[in-house]
Amino acid sequence: MTYHDRLIISTCTALVLIALAAPPAARAAETKGPVTDPIGVVTIPKGAPIQFGGYWVMSGADSALGIDEKRGVELAIKDEGGMLLGHPIKLNVEDDGCNAEGGQTAATKLAADPNAVIVLGPACSSAATPGAPILWKAGVVDVATATTAPSLTAPDRKPEYDGFVRTIYSDIDQGAADAKYVYDVVKARKIVTVHDGSPYAQQLAAVMADNFKKLGGEVLSVEAVSPTEVDMHPVLTRIATEKPDMIYAPVFVAAGAQLLRQEKDTPGLGNVPLIGSSGQMAPDIISAAGQAVVGYRITYPDVSPEAMGAGYPKLVKEYTDTYGEPPISGYHANAYDAAVLAMKAIEQVAKTDASGATYIGRKALRDAVLTIKFDGVSGPIACDSHGECAKFKPAVYEFTNADPSTFKIGVNPKKVWPQSSSASAQ
Amino acid sequence: MAEASAARSLLANLHRRARFGFVDVALWGLRIAVVAVIAAGTAGTLIKGRYGVGDWFDFLTYGVTMGSVYALIALGYTMVYGVLRLINFAHGDIMMTGAFSGYFLAAHFDQTGFLRREPALAMLAVLALGVATSTTVALLTERFAYRPFRRVRGLAPLICAIGVSFFLEQSFRGAFGSGVHAYPDTKWQNETVSVFGFGVPVVEIIVVAIAVASMTVLYLIVQRTRMGAAMRAVSEDAEAAAMMGIDVDRVIVFTFALGGAMAGVAGVCYAFVFKQVYFFMGFTPGVKAFGAAVLGGIGSVPGAMLAGLFLGVVESVGPALFLDGIGIPAPYQLRDLIAFTLLIMVLIFRPYGIMGERMARKRA
């Protein structure tokens, strides 16, 4: 190897090391047309589409969550006539698989598009946790539609989540409401919680357990299973040794269905109620659990017409007319409001020049999202400074039929708590 | 003379000690750590006394049931590896095809009421269809995917196997959706019978019985028939077997058919117990069963059977026995860790597997 070769190799190595060691460069201020923005400007030529990204779980046992939310966004865009500021709206959707790897991949792909104005979704906190920082690093605001993990909008969240907002409640609220229901209504005093290691399930189980203990209850143990685990018998046998009054398992469809089926066969647990949560509101839980689903209760936001915004019945009719079936999950209204929030924010900050091109400042868009308030179809939307834009209205639903074709929120499963009169009072 | 001999012996010892390097120390450390965790965990669990005899019996029963399924799948891996030196990574998905076809028939029987009227006949028919489907898929896979790579060395056959795995998963996803389908659940399946005074679900006894019967038949085929002898001959040395007049192609096709049949039995048994089928259901049990095949000594039929059962029992009993006692919270989240630690330990300390040595000596 000659001196020249060694010099080239050393220089390249040094450059690579410097590149790896250096902190990521701050996005530079940019001026395009009439807009100057500290982190960048998106230019949309006349007639070109405004690019909306979307990432949801579109396959697997939890796909009803993602498909339902995508439909909510599509309906919001349709209600705007598919146009915004004279540009057609184009929705580019990626499947995140409701897991961290999928969220990272989907967000990376969406962030790589320099014309992406804003991203909607995801449904799962597992996907949002790695996805949101990737998007915000590229200056793209992420309006989530059903991710409820408290850490995503916590006051102490890291700066890389500054571009993340959501039109869905935090599990801080749901955990507290679930604990109250279990303590006051079910009258359970000793419980076991089961999570699947996902940010959603783990954080919701922890918040619920904390609140339950504050109410005077005892959490005998915190158990965990893998989201794809099929053999729940050993963990259920372990739980049975603790003799709980109730098992609280806010996991997703596949694991939830296995827990439900196998719990009934486990000695000592035959009469111990199992309560699930919002990750299981989908027809797939009926398909997966079969007959065991009858009588199964899950805690969920109250999506009865009296608890939702004024426009909700119209949205349900439009949904049913467009897709030929009633809503397949319960977050289409939150997704609808996410899209409305995005469109309102774009309208507020976009500027158009004489050629008809539209310019949107990225930081300005994020700031606008945080300040806009409106009465959405899911309820009032008003973000706090950490991106939390919605409130939780508690309810409990019970499955009444093992035929998946009977799935209709409010019918199967039917709302069993609170009763309608109290629901309307909230 | 004696002094000189002692000096030589001392030098030889010193030389050996000098070769006892960092890796050996690390491996011994790993051995000691694993044994210490097992011993401390077991002692701690037993002292705590949280689990009664009935609980341990339940853990064991669940483990044997799961292990029977692992063993059935592992047989397919190990037989194909034996004759082709190919790791058929699509084998878990071949099991899935059997479970899926059985599901459609079982759902039909459930709708018509046949499953309740004639449960034994219905289950036999479901099992037969599952076996037929998996066997057909295995044979098609061999003919169209693996045979063109028969003489190819390197990684191409392995990559082809991974491709077949994706192909099967995505085909079933496209055809039947990505959701989970529930196997029909009849009351008699959930009833329990008393074994040594403990209640055991009927379905688990049936599954273990089917698995044991299937494995016995397979073992007899391999050990007592001309085709079985031919399989063993090809497994030892395919070229020599061909020179002795054995039709190697026919043997390979027969091996895939046997492996496919076992996968079909495994798929239907799996669905009987866990009552769910979906397109990706073959992946995890496939990986675990491959681990069992390696654990038993890949290429060894009795090894795969024993290791499958062993893996199932360790997965079921291990978290409660080893981890509970040392205060690890939610130990069942770590059951895969126990299974794969076991596999890694075997690969490090006994790379030829539990039953692999006997075969290696025979070959030698």
> How many whole angstroms separate alpha carbon A317 and alpha carbon A193?
38
Note the pLDDT of residue A5: 56
Q: How far is A221 from chain B (nearest CA, A)?
A: 8
Q: Which residue has the tokens 């190819």?
A: B152
User: Under an 8 A CB cutoff, do B333 and A197 touch?
Assistant: yes
Note the pLDDT of residue B7: 66
pLDDT band at B177 (very low <50, low <70, confident <90, very high): confident
> How many whole angstroms separate alpha carbon A109 and alpha carbon A281?
29
> How many whole angstroms separate alpha carbon B215 and alpha carbon B233?
20
Pairing type for strands A30-32 and A246-248 reads unpaired
The 8-class DSSP code of residue A93 comes to E
Chain B environment of A254 (Cβ under 8 Å): 180, 276, 278
Note the pLDDT of residue A12: 52
Pairing type for strands A116-120 and A141-144 reads parallel
Tell me the helix, strand and coil percentages in chain A, rounded to 5. Answer: 40, 20, 35
Report, as an integer, the average pLDDT of B205-215: 93
- Sequence-ordered list of residues with C-beta below 8 angstroms from that of B22, at least 6 positions apart, any chain: none
Whether residue A194 contacts residue A235, with contact meaning beta carbons closer than 8 Å, is answered with yes
> How many whole angstroms separate alpha carbon A205 and alpha carbon B92?
33
State the amino acid at position B215 in one-letter form.
Answer: M
- Sequence-ordered list of residues with C-beta below 8 angstroms from that of A266, at least 6 positions apart, any chain: A233, A236, A237, A239, A240
Residue A388 has φ and ψ, to the nearest 5°, of -90, 115
Q: Given a cut of 80, is residue B103 above it in pLDDT?
A: yes
Note the pLDDT of residue A423: 41
**Which H or E run contains A43?**
strand A41-44
Pairing type for strands A87-95 and A380-382 reads unpaired
Note the pLDDT of residue A425: 35
B229 by Cβ neighbours in 10 Å (0-12 / 13-18 / 19+) ranks as middle
Q: Which residue has the tokens 């609280």?
A: A248
User: Among residues A144, A161, A168, A118, which one has the least CA distance to residue A349?
Assistant: A118
Most A-contacting residue of B70, B103, B178 (CB-CB within 10 A), to test interface = B178
Find the CB nearest A234 among B59, B190, B280: B59
Whether residue B72 contacts residue B265, with contact meaning beta carbons closer than 8 Å, is answered with yes
> How many whole angstroms separate alpha carbon B291 and alpha carbon B280?
18
* Interior angle at CA B264, CA B238 and CA B335, nearest 5: 95
Q: Give one DSSP letter per residue of A149-215, joined into a string.
A: -GGGG-TT--GGGTTEEESS--HHHHHHHHHHIIIIIS---EEEEEE-SSHHHHHHHHHHHHHHHHT
Note the pLDDT of residue A25: 41
> How many whole angstroms separate alpha carbon A243 and alpha carbon A190?
8
How high is the mean pLDDT of chain B? Answer: 88
B4-48 pLDDT, tens digit per residue, is 666 666 666 656 655 668 888 888 888 888 889 999 999 999 998
Q: Give one DSSP letter per residue of B339-357, joined into a string.
A: HHHHHHHHHHH-TT-SSHH
User: Touching check for B185 and chain A: CB below 8 Å?
Assistant: yes
User: Touching check for A234 and chain B: CB below 8 Å?
Assistant: yes
- Copy the structure tokens of residue A227: 């989201």
> How many whole angstroms separate alpha carbon A112 and alpha carbon A134?
10
Find the CB nearest B62 among A197, A231, A258: A231
User: Touching check for A228 and chain B: CB below 8 Å?
Assistant: yes
| Higher-scoring residue by pLDDT: B85, B282 | B282
The 8-class DSSP code of residue A24 comes to P
Domain edges within chain A: 30-168+331-382, 174-301+394-425
User: Among residues B94, B130, B142, B143, which one has the least CA distance to residue B290?
Assistant: B94
> How many whole angstroms separate alpha carbon B245 and alpha carbon B294?
31
Residue A215 has φ and ψ, to the nearest 5°, of -75, -10
Q: How far is A134 from chain B (nearest CA, A)?
A: 28
Note the pLDDT of residue B20: 66
- Copy the structure tokens of residue B282: 């073959």
SS3 A33: coil
Residue A75 has φ and ψ, to the nearest 5°, of -70, -35
B103-109: list long-range contacts, CB under 8 Å, 24+ apart: B103/B181, B103/B183, B103/B271, B103/B277, B105/B129, B106/B183, B106/B184, B106/B271, B107/B181, B107/B183, B107/B184, B109/B184
Report, as an integer, the average pLDDT of B251-260: 95
**Which H or E run contains A221?**
strand A218-224
Q: Which residue has the tokens 């409305």?
A: A340
How do the pLDDT tens digits run along chain A, 426 residues long? 555 555 455 555 555 554 444 444 446 788 998 999 999 999 999 999 999 999 999 988 788 899 999 999 999 999 999 999 999 999 999 999 999 999 999 999 999 999 999 999 999 999 999 999 999 999 999 999 999 999 999 999 999 999 999 999 999 999 999 999 999 999 999 999 999 988 889 999 999 999 999 999 999 999 999 888 888 999 999 999 999 999 999 999 989 999 998 998 888 898 899 999 988 998 889 988 888 999 999 999 998 888 888 899 999 999 999 999 999 988 999 999 999 999 999 999 999 999 989 999 999 999 999 999 999 999 999 999 999 999 888 999 999 999 888 999 899 999 998 876 544 333
The 8-class DSSP code of residue A277 comes to -
* Interior angle at CA A355, CA A351 and CA A361, nearest 5: 25
The superfamily (CATH) of domain A174-301+394-425 is Response regulator (3.40.50.2300)
Domain edges within chain B: 52-363
> How many whole angstroms separate alpha carbon A423 and alpha carbon A177?
14
Q: Identical fold at A30-168+331-382 and A174-301+394-425?
A: yes
Note the pLDDT of residue A22: 42
User: Under an 8 A CB cutoff, do A231 and B316 touch?
Assistant: yes
Note the pLDDT of residue B151: 81
Note the pLDDT of residue A9: 56
Residue A41 CA, chain-centre distance (Å), reads 27
Chain A environment of B183 (Cβ under 8 Å): 290
Note the pLDDT of residue B5: 67
Length of chain A: 426
pLDDT band at B183 (very low <50, low <70, confident <90, very high): confident
User: Under an 8 A CB cutoff, do B276 and A254 touch?
Assistant: yes
List the single residue in B with minimal CA-CA distance to A62. B179
Whether residue A396 contacts residue A307, with contact meaning beta carbons closer than 8 Å, is answered with no
> How many whole angstroms separate alpha carbon A322 and alpha carbon A75?
9
Going from the C-alpha of A335 to that of each of A339, B14, B32, the distances in angstroms are 6, 73, 54
Report CA Rg, chain B: 23
Q: Which fold has domain A30-168+331-382?
A: Rossmann fold (3.40.50)
CATH number of B52-363: 1.10.3470
